[in-house]
C-alpha cells in the first residue's frame, strides 16, 4: 500500500528530535517513538499552552510539532 507522501516530519518530545513519516499518531505511538515509558503523561505544546494527549487519542502530525512527556502524577495530587 503506497503512501501518498514520503515526507518526513520532525517530532520533538522533551526537546529531543525524532523522525516519522506518519501523518497521524496516537499518544501511545508518540511515546513509543520517543522511548518514553507508557505510563508517562503526554502533552502537546501549543505556544504557551500544553494540551493533554491520551494514549488512544490521535494527533495530526506536522513538522516541528512539540510534546512534553512527564512521569504520571507530576501535576496535582
> Residue ranges of the domains in the chain?
21-70
How high is the pLDDT of residue 41? 96
What are the cell numbers at 7?
Answer: 515526507
How high is the pLDDT of residue 77? 42
Which of the four pLDDT bands, split at 50, 70 and 90, describes residue 73?
A: confident
| Residue of 77, 61, 71 lying closest to 10 (CA atoms) | 61
Report percent pLDDT > 70 for the chain: 90
How high is the pLDDT of residue 1? 44
Q: Which are the contacts of 6, defined by CB distance < 8 A and separation ≥ 6?
A: 21
How high is the pLDDT of residue 45? 97
pLDDT digits (tens, 9 = 90+) for 45-63: 999 999 999 999 999 999 9
Amino acid at each position: 500500500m503506497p503512501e501518498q507522501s514520503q515526507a518526513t516530519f520532525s517530532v520533538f518530545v522533551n526537546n529531543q528530535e525524532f523522525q516519522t513519516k506518519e501523518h497521524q499518531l496516537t499518544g501511545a505511538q508518540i511515546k513509543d517513538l520517543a522511548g518514553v515509558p507508557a505510563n508517562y503523561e503526554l502533552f502537546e505544546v501549543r505556544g504557551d499552552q500544553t494540551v493533554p494527549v491520551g494514549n488512544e487519542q490521535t494527533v495530526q502530525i506536522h513538522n516541528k510539532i512539540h510534546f512534553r512527556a512527564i512521569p504520571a502524577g507530576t501535576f496535582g495530587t
